[in-house]
Amino acid sequence: MLSPPCRVPRPVVALVALVSFAALLTDCSTVETATAQTRMRVLQLNLCNSGMATGCYTGRAVARAAEVIRAETPDVVTLNEICADDVDALERVMTQVHDGTVVAAFQPARNGRTGEPYRCLNGQQYGVGVLTHIPGSGGDHEVHAGIYPAQDPADPEQRAWLCVEASGLFFACTTHLAYTSSTLALAQCAHLVGTAIPRLHADGRYRPTVVSGDLNLRHGGTPDVRSCVPADYHHRHDGGVQQFMATADLRIDVTRPVSMERTTDHAAFLVRLTLPGQGDPAH
């Protein structure tokens, strides 16, 4: 079941024309030709900012996230456990560190008791978000989102997924899966990578794809998150429940945690990728 996501594109003055997938990098020293391989940084953040989870809520996570974005200049930021206004605040930070276009998307979880968007304690919609930097003035994009068919009937928070298709060049996806049952989380994960994303790839629309988020599943856990990872995807994790997957045409170079200075219960998880150039056989 698809639900209409919130779309918040913000065009910014463009200094570089978008000529190919190889132009996706903020570090221009690696982009010399349209066939060159390029680098991309994906930052995963679980901000625990609903105000309801008192064990991890501090009210300072968004400010710390802004500091991390300024320091790391990620190309994609995936956001979990956020309120709607958090996306706007962090999108403004992304526009400060990038030229081109920054696309901000938000998808609320659904309240299983009312059918309405789930709410933070402050009344704002609660859910997941994606911030994506697209060099150039066009910034064409599409936002895709949905609510999982499998949910915990005892938990009013019904989990959602969200993907941004950036200029027809790549998909960046995030989700925050059920915490009440790892078996249910695995079923939701399987739906995302086995049904939702393949539908996005259908009819000649395949693009290199990343999935980053708090899956509430662990490497070596029971069930093991690896049983959800497609055979042709690369996979990395933060040693806990934050997971990263990428299609085979992307190469994962480095992963590392970034301290959130105790403003939330998860360190940020940064992944550096090599992307295929226009002339790369993998593209």
- Residue 1 CA to residue 151 CA, distance in Å, equals 12
In a domain, 42, yes or no: yes
- Residue 48 CA to residue 260 CA, distance in Å, equals 12
From 78-87, 166-175, 185-194, the region with the lowest mean pLDDT: 166-175
In a domain, 160, yes or no: yes
List the one residue out of 225, 201, 227, 199 whose CA is nearest residue 214: 225
Q: pLDDT tens digits, residue range 223-265?
A: 999 999 999 999 999 999 999 999 999 999 999 999 999 999 9
CATH code for the domain of 195: 3.60.10.10
Angle at 42 (CA atoms; ends 41, 47), nearest 5 degrees: 135
Q: Domain range holding 78?
A: 6-22+38-275
**Is the per-residue pLDDT at 26 higher than 80?**
no
List the one residue out of 72, 87, 135, 125 whose CA is nearest residue 267: 72
User: Residue 221's pLDDT band (boundaries 50, 70, 90)?
Assistant: very high
Which pLDDT belongs to residue 6? 53
Q: Are 174 and 78 in contact (CB under 8 A)?
A: yes
Q: How is residue 247 written in tokens?
A: 């299609």
E strands present in 113-237: 126-134, 141-147, 157-158, 160-166, 170-175, 209-214, 233-237
Phi, psi of 272 (to 5 degrees): -105, 130
Q: Are 268 and 258 in contact (CB under 8 A)?
A: yes
In a domain, 28, yes or no: no
In a domain, 215, yes or no: yes
Q: pLDDT tens digits, residue range 103-155?
A: 999 999 999 999 999 999 999 999 999 999 987 767 799 999 999 999 999 99
The whole model's pTM is what?
0.86
In a domain, 30, yes or no: no
In a domain, 281, yes or no: no
- Residue 6 CA to residue 178 CA, distance in Å, equals 22
- Residue 125 CA to residue 106 CA, distance in Å, equals 9
Q: pLDDT tens digits, residue range 66-78?
A: 999 999 999 999 9
In a domain, 186, yes or no: yes
3-class SS at 153? Answer: coil
Which pLDDT belongs to residue 218? 98
Q: Between β-strands 38-46 and 76-83, what pairing exists: parallel, antiparallel or unpaired?
A: parallel
List the one residue out of 123, 192, 109, 120 whose CA is nearest residue 156: 109
Q: Could you count the other beta carbons within 10 Å of the beta carbon of residue 4?
A: 8
User: Residue 29's pLDDT band (boundaries 50, 70, 90)?
Assistant: very low
**Is the per-residue pLDDT at 17 higher than 80?**
no
From 48-52, 133-137, 276-280, the region with the lowest mean pLDDT: 276-280
- Residue 35 CA to residue 58 CA, distance in Å, equals 46
What are the C-alpha distances in Å from 73 to residues 45, 217, 272? 14, 28, 11
The total domain count for the chain is 1
In a domain, 32, yes or no: no
User: Residue 160's pLDDT band (boundaries 50, 70, 90)?
Assistant: very high
